[in-house]
Structure 1
Amino acid sequence: MINQDHFSRLNQYRSMWVLVFFDLPTETRKDRKAAILFRKNLLDDGFSMFQFSIYLRFCASRENAAVHIKRTKSRLPKQGKVCIMQITDKQFGMIELFHGQKETVPETPSQQLELF
């Protein structure tokens, strides 16, 4: 019989968070349009804004994370810097988040229905 605590712990190492960091130029109208489209594509793909140029998405598995990473890579703007990082749910759970000097609790991910 599988211990439920063991299954939960294993799931924390299997489920992933995908973080997208970006610094995109906005000097010209064309640059702004590309930056807006990149951000819109992230939102349409289920990412949420964590900070101004940091978006994140919870993925139930490494395979699911790979799908969203591939999709993000296919929509990269021609200019600017983009970084994609993935971490386990366990690692994300150890984040220390502050607003000013006051520590806050990270928001839990919204439940997302995924159809395969």
Structure 2
Amino acid sequence: MRLMIMFDLPVETSQQRRDYRQFRKALINEGFIMVQYSVYVRVCVNKKSAMFMEHRVQRFLPSNGLVQSLVLTEKQYNDMHFLVGSPVKDVRNSSDRTVIL
């Protein structure tokens, strides 16, 4: 499973830019990697862990803007088509490292 977080946050004031940086940093600290600007993905073991992670993200949401989440299966994520560009071969973006205890 993959949890995708997509966001569009205002960055007009210094406080809004600070909120943006803190939100982005918190996503990275939770293990998300950037797919595109304002689109981050994290590998999750199952739907329950994806929902748990979504609740963790809710704890550090900024007060303004738009933040959306989407849970994808491995098949759905792997069926993504690259119309321009190519996928990044980042080992952190692979479920091969997932260990189920």
The TM tier, using the shorter chain, reads: 0.7 to 0.9
1:70-81 alignment runs, 5 A limit: 70-81=55-66
Q: Which has the larger radius of gyration?
A: 1
Could you list the per-position Cα deviations for residues 15-54 of structure 1 after superposition, in whole angstroms to 9, with x for gaps in the alignment?
x111111000111110000000000000000000000110
**Cα-Cα RMSD:** 2.0
Residue 113 of structure 1, CA deviation: 6.6
Residue in 2 aligned with 1:33? Answer: 18
Give percent identity, aligned residues only.
32
Q: Unpaired segments of 5 or more residues in structure 1?
A: 1-15
The structure showing larger relative contact order (alpha-carbon pairs under 8 Å, at least 6 residues apart) is 2
* One-letter identity of the residue aligned with 1:48: I
Equivalent-residue separation in structure 2 for 1:30 and 1:113 (angstroms) = 39
Structure 1 moving runs of 4+ over 6 Å: none
Could you list the per-position Cα deviations for residues 78-109 of structure 1 after superposition, in whole angstroms to 9, with x for gaps in the alignment?
00001111111111111111335xxx346352
* One-letter identity of the residue aligned with 2:27: L
Say how many residue pairs are matched: 97
Distance 1:80 1:93, change over 3 A: same
Equivalent-residue separation in structure 1 for 2:87 and 2:65 (angstroms) = 31
TM-score (norm 1): 0.75
Equivalent-residue separation in structure 2 for 1:80 and 1:22 (angstroms) = 8
Q: Unpaired segments of 5 or more residues in structure 2?
A: none
Equivalent-residue separation in structure 1 for 2:65 and 2:26 (angstroms) = 16
Distance 1:73 1:57, change over 3 A: same
Residue in 2 aligned with 1:20? Answer: 5
Residue in 1 aligned with 2:82? Answer: 97
- Which structure shows the bigger proportion of residues in strand conformation? 1
